[in-house]
Structure 1
Amino acid sequence: MLLIKAAWGGKSLNYDFRSPSAGPYPRTPSDIEKNRNTLENSGHYYRLMAAHVKQVLANPGRVCPAYDPKEGYEIAGFIWLQGFNDMVDGNFYPKQPKGAPGNRFAKYSELMAAFIRDVRREFGAPKMPFVIGVMGVGGKEPGDDNLAFREAMAAPADLPEFKGNVTAVRTAPFWDEQLGAIQAKKEKVRQMAYELRNKGKRSANADGKMTEEQQREFLKDYEAKLITPAEAAQLKRGSSNAGYHYLGCAKTFALMGEAFAEANLKMRSEAK
């Protein structure tokens, strides 16, 4: 078995991984004003991904010594885990008035469906099992936008054309709730540091008279009251990255990977 990984952080589906059948990227007035998201670079990472996979498959034996050219290979599935950069992109998915009908991220569903069709066409695998790893950052208590985005991300799996060959796997159950709660406290400490530096009106340094040393001492005491030594040790032991990367929690990624593999195997077995 050979796993081909193509992963660049901080990328969106609406622009960076935009696939051919999604059509040209519709630049917004803000894009034009700030001279960003040019048409020629739209889909750049889709093309890089496709080229990388094709390069590997042109000579699998280079990276997989057990490969037998006589037996050839089969593309057994595709796993997609992404989402955060689309969820926070208010430029492409503008905020809607409170109570407005529909999902502001509905376009993501269309782009995801186009992506699935395109990668199958790209690699000559029309029924290739496809697993959508539905973003689970934030775990059991997502904000409204987070929840709406999750629904938009999962939606393509319900399309008739994808019945039995596309599965949406919810990753929120694998988010480490304890680490998330401690990380939220760390964010409060960072916010307090920002308020002190910038003389926030509600901070202890509103009058700007605190020295840097006094600010450090204040923060040290603030953090000690907020986070216990046991919690600090747990966060250090269990996380290695920010929340948008699932806190870099190895346990979370292991559980997600297992769920993706099981979903892929289930689709393959049911297709036989």
Structure 2
Amino acid sequence: MPELPEVEVSRQGLLPYLPGQRIVDAIFRTQKLRHDIPDGLASRLTGLRVDGIHRRGKYLLFDCESKLDGGWLILHLGMSGSLRLVTPVMPAEKHDHVDLVFADTVLRFRDPRRFGALIWHEGSHVDRHPLIAVLGVEPLSTAFDGDWLYAQTRRRRAPIKPLLMDSHLVVGIGNIYASESLYRAGISPLRAANRIRQERYRILVASIRSTLETAIGAGGSSVRDYVHSDGGTGCFQLSCAVYNRQGDPCPTCGRPIRLVRQAGRSTFYCQYCQR
């Protein structure tokens, strides 16, 4: 699933092209992704100017003249979604479900598994939308620090890794980046959150931030269908120390990387380097 780095890379790839441009047409080749596409959305979008593109967790937020008479287009890439800028004459393929047509380019949403979402929010206060209002702190914001995370986990007995993936606490970290961040911090993904000292939480937060920033710089991770807006792929997965490397030698101690299941997800770690 595209996580925070992939969504942020998608956002950055669109910024040079779409803000200031008007939507001249909206084409929907399906009426349902994860949610039903609202009736009349194509006509509502047509003519609106994209004033900005923001990110909240794993959601892309397109400001369509929200401060005037418009609103926000909320987009989630789901499990297999991607956004590409294509020429107006490029024919759509099987899984190309949505086109936003601009004067000189088309923003095309491809989603083979159709777990993505496209939602319209009328008016200026997108933070009040039910999907956005429940989201936790942004891990690249100044509000996310070791002292805050330590305070939030004092009554949490659950293992730290699934907790880092709880979007009501902190958004967008995801499976790959939780595993890699915990490895960099030397913390076992199995350790109870309330059994981690405050000093180690400061190290963990720094590791999360550096892991996410490195992943963004590498164009994210392309492990399934994710591609950039220009069709390129991310390469962070090629430098992972533990993720998807069960049985491989740990880069630090040389012992085999272990694989366990936590909350239905694969967890990769070194039982010797991570305590």
TM range (shorter): under 0.3
Higher strand content, 1 or 2:
2
Give the TM-score of the pair, scaled to structure 2.
0.22
